[in-house]
């Protein structure tokens, strides 16, 4: 759904705002005309003040009505713009939530921040700064033509022609000169935001590598380009404001000359000469805002285009109404002949891969770096699109599920778990906002993090810092596992969940987790051979395909496996005993 179509739900309010804007213009024209008539009439020293009563009342009416209508116009127009902006942001966030991996891939967090921040906020000028001035200008031109014709056909037609010509020329020139600079401004602003975010996130590495001067130089160059673009736009704005002012006074002078000629020809009453002059002055105010509106057109188009790029996925077309019925038992998760192509240039990651995670089955997935292990987990978690094949959850194609319903059945630990800048309690309740404190304590007890709560200064309410700066790498992984426990999903997809833990801690955490998940399905990506006795089967992934699968005792002798596994010198009891759990019998 194009984001501009979201305006249609407010079309009645938009129409009302445009009508109020037009009425404000009409009141201003009436005020200028009647006030000039009142001054001219008073200069003639009428015999009775009653002869001025009608224009006096008219001036008061037009002045009061103009102020009231302008307030209502601004109020409703900005209210509609903010409502629409809220809907746009909600729509984009829902799109990103449902297709996050495909949208964010290849884009830095700074660029995403720029698109979701400044680009979206820039669109608030679309209704108030572009649509309304154009519509009100066209309707105002018709009002001016009607008033001018009532005074004199020559003045009416001439004034309307000058207004139309100046509006077209000034708008076209302003848009043409500003479009390139506006697009460049948005691009540079996005690059600068991305650079600053990357600088803040990688500051420790920048200091360690002594890159401060080069990074500062890069940021300074972007800031200089940003200021240059802003100065260019300011010059254009000033130029067209001056031109618009000149055209306004020149137009009034032309109308004044036409009025004098008509008076000499006895085609216009002399008292109406100042009326025609001030009508022209007020009329050109209608089109004076158009150069500024079209000056911003290029920036608005560029911002809309950058936002639209985020929505080139199926979920952007609207919410998907799919299966939402939760299965009674642990459902099977089956991947059949799936192929995935990612990257620029496109490179196959998975090649017609077939794999089944049965109910209650525990499977370890091993393979060399770049073989597609994480991609497979993202596929099964419906985070990555695939071009061929099918993935079935409980014998229903994953694309036929309601996304939220499908993901409620999956507990996922990503390779790089995110820690929010929030409290420990809030970071755990991300998995289940209604989880009790006992459930939270159980999750930390299982992962060995419960002593951490007592050591933190504010316990559960301690801020963990942005991206978990107060935690170690191993603690972040433990926190991610604890989230999975809190979520209590029937299927667990674990992408190296114990990376960063020492071998003893890793063994202890995985023993507890597998015992807790005895009746759940588990797919566990690992590189450590010493813990494979905790699973029922081991699958070997290489070049995007499963090249071997079977019990740990069989897979350890596979020639491909021996080159992949890191064997560590742990006690013999932690080597290759018989599996302690069989999912089919649980």
Q: Tell me the pLDDT tens digit for each residue of 342-357.
A: 766 677 788 888 999 9
Distance CA 313, CA 191 (A): 24
Q: Under 8 Å CB-to-CB from 296, ≥6 apart: which residues? A: 125, 129, 130, 178, 182
How far CA 140 is from CA of 132, 143, 154, 183, in Å, comes to: 11, 5, 18, 31
Residue 113 has what DSSP assignment?
A: H
**Cis amide leading into 37 (omega within 30):** no
CATH classification of 327-409+490-580 is 3.40.50.300, yes or no?
A: yes
Instruction: Please write the tens of the pLDDT for every residue from 374-427.
Output: 888 888 887 777 778 889 998 888 888 887 888 889 999 988 888 888 888 888
Looking at residue 482, what is its pLDDT? 92
Nearest to 112 by CA among 234, 48, 194: 194
Residue 113 pLDDT grade (very low, low, confident, very high; cuts 50, 70, 90): low
Domain 416-488 fold is Rossmann fold (3.40.50)
DSSP conformational letter for 130? I
Residue 214 has pLDDT above 80, yes or no: yes
List the helix and strand counts (H, then E) for the chain.
22, 10
69 to 12, 17, 61, 77, 140: CA distances (angstroms): 17, 10, 12, 12, 15
Quote the mean pLDDT of the chain: 81
Q: Please check the confidence at residue 296 and state whether its pLDDT lies above 80.
A: no
CA distances in angstroms from 300 to 130, 294, 295, 308, listed in the order given: 9, 10, 10, 12
**CB under 8 Å to 373, separation ≥6 — which residues?**
365, 366, 367, 495, 525, 541
Bridge partners for 334 per DSSP? 356, 392
Tell me what pLDDT residue 577 has: 40
Same topology between domain 3-317 and domain 327-409+490-580: no
pLDDT of the residue at 248: 83
- The residue ranges of every structural domain in the chain are 3-317, 327-409+490-580, 416-488
φ, ψ for residue 370 (rounded to 5)? 85, 10
In the predicted model, what is the mean pLDDT of residues 574-583?
Answer: 41
Q: How far is CA 299 from the centre of its chain?
A: 17
Nearest-angstrom CA–CA distance, 559 and 430: 42
CATH of domain 3-317: 1.20.1560.10
DSSP 8-state code for residue 401:
B
Whole-Å CA distances, 155 to 228, 248, 261, 276, 288: 44, 15, 10, 8, 20
**CA distances (Å), origin 482, targets 97, 253, 447, 458, 551:** 22, 78, 6, 19, 28
Ranges 217-231, 234-248, 297-311: which has the least confidence: 297-311
What is the pLDDT at residue 1? 47
* pLDDT tens, position by position, 38-66: 999 898 888 888 888 898 999 999 999 99
Give pTM, 2 decimals.
0.63
Give me 169's structure tokens: 């020329």
* Residue 33: count of CB within 10 angstroms of its CB: 23
Confidence tier at 313 by pLDDT (50, 70, 90):
very low
Whether residue 570 is predicted with pLDDT greater than 70 in this model: the reply is no
pLDDT in tens, 116-166: 666 777 777 788 888 888 899 889 989 988 988 888 888 889 888 888 888
pLDDT at 567 over 50: no
Share of the chain above pLDDT 90, in %: 18
- Phi-psi sector, 369: left (phi>0), alpha (psi -120 to 50), beta: beta
Rounded Cα distance between 394 and 401, Å, is: 10
DSSP string, 143-156: HHHHHHHHH-HHHH
Strands 333-342 and 388-393: antiparallel
Q: pLDDT grade, residue 317 (50/70/90)?
A: very low
User: What's residue 319's pLDDT?
Assistant: 46
Contact 165, 284 (CB under 8 A): no
Output b/e per residue, 269-285; b: 16+ Cβ within 10 A. Answer: eeebbbbbbbbbbbbbe
């Amino acid at each position: 759904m194009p984001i501009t179509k979201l305006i249609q739900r407010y079309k009645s309010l938009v129409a009302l705002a445009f009508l109020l804007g037009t009425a404000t213009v009409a009141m201003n024209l009436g005020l200028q005309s009647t006030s000039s008539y009142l001054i001219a009439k008073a200069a003639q020293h009428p015999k009775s003040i009653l002869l001025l009563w009608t224009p006096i009342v008219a001036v008061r009416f037009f002045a009061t009505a103009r102020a009231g209508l302008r307030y209502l116009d601004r109020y409703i127009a900005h209210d509609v713009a903010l409502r629409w902006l809220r809907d746009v942001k909600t729509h984009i966030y829902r799109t990103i939530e449902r297709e996050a991996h495909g949208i964010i891939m290849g884009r830095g967090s700074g660029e995403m921040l720029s698109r979701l921040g400044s680009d979206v906020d820039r669109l608030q000028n679309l209704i108030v700064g572009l649509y309304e001035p154009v519509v009100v200008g066209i309707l105002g031109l018709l009002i001016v033509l009607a008033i001018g014709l009532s005074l004199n056909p020559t003045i009416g037609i001439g004034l309307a022609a000058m207004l139309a010509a100046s509006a077209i020329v000034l708008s076209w020139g302003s848009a043409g000169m500003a479009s390139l600079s506006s697009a460049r401004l948005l691009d540079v602003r996005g690059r600068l935001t991305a650079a600053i975010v990357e600088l803040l996130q990688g500051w420790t590495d920048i200091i360690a590598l002594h890159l401060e001067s080069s990074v500062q130089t890069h940021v300074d160059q972007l800031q200089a380009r940003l200021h240059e673009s802003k100065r260019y736009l300011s010059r254009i704005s000033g130029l067209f404001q001056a031109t618009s002012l000149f055209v306004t006074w020149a137009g009034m002078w032309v109308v004044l000359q036409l009025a004098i000629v008509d008076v000499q020809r006895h085609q216009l009453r002399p008292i109406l000469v100042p009326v025609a002059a001030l009508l022209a002055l007020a009329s050109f105010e209608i089109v004076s805002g158009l150069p500024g509106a079209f000056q911003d057109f290029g920036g608005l188009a560029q911002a809309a285009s950058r936002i639209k790029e985020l929505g080139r996925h199926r979920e952007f077309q609207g919410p998907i109404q799919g299966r939402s019925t939760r299965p009674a038992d642990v459902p099977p998760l089956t991947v059949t002949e799936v192929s995935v192509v990612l990257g620029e240039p496109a490179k196959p990651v998975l090649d017609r891969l077939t794999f089944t995670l049965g109910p209650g089955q525990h499977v370890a997935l091993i393979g060399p770096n770049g073989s597609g292990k994480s991609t497979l987990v993202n596929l099964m978690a419906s985070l990555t699109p695939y071009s061929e094949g099918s993935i079935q959850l409980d014998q229903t194609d994953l694309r036929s599920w309601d996304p939220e319903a499908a993901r409620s059945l999956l507990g996922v630990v990503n390779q790089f778990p995110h820690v929010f800048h929030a409290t420990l309690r809030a970071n755990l309740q991300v998995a289940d906002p209604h989880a009790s404190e006992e459930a939270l304590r159980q999750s930390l007890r299982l992962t060995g993090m419960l002593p951490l709560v007592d050591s933190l200064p504010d316990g559960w309410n301690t801020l963990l810092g942005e991206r978990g700066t107060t935690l170690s790498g191993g603690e972040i992984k433990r926190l991610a596992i604890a989230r999975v426990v809190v979520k209590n999903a029937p299927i667990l997809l674990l992408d190296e969940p114990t990376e960063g833990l020492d071998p003893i801690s890793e063994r202890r955490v995985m023993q507890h987790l597998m015992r807790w998940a005895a009746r759940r399905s588990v797919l566990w990506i690992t590189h450590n051979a010493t813990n494979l006795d905790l699973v029922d089967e081991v699958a070997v992934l290489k070049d995007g395909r499963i090249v071997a699968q079977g019990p740990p005792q069989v897979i350890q002798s596979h020639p491909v496996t021996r080159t992949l596994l890191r064997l560590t010198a742990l006690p013999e009891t932690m080597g290759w005993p018989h599996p302690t759990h069989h999912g089919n019998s649980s």
